[in-house]
Amino acid sequence: MTDDIPNIAQKAPFPVEVTEGKSYLWCACGRSAQQPFCDGSHKGTTHRPVKYTAQATQKVFFCGCKNTGNAPLCDGTHSTL
């Protein structure tokens, strides 16, 4: 099955404490059971995870609605859905 429209995992970001230098695979398809990260559930869709490498140890807000224009981070688009 191919499906360009991502599932909305939630209409809000996921705050995550990231570690400097560490990479994370953000789920773009919205199907992962381990939000906001990819668990391989995009298989069979056109979606691929987006890699994020933390530049600093800090809290970041990963997009949960999967409609952000600034993937993998929330840009506020969720409030329009």
Interacting residue ranges for ligand FES, rule: CB under 6 A: 12-13, 27-29, 31-32, 38-42, 47, 49, 63-65, 67-68, 74-78
Q: How far is the CB of 67 from ligand FES (least distance, A)?
A: 6
Report in angstroms the alpha-carbon separations of 62 from 2, 10, 44: 24, 11, 23
C-alpha 21/C-alpha 30 separation (Å) is 25
DSSP helix/strand/coil, 21? coil
Q: How far is the CB of 72 from ligand FES (least distance, A)?
A: 9
Based on CB atoms, which residue is closest to ligand FES, 60 or 65? 65
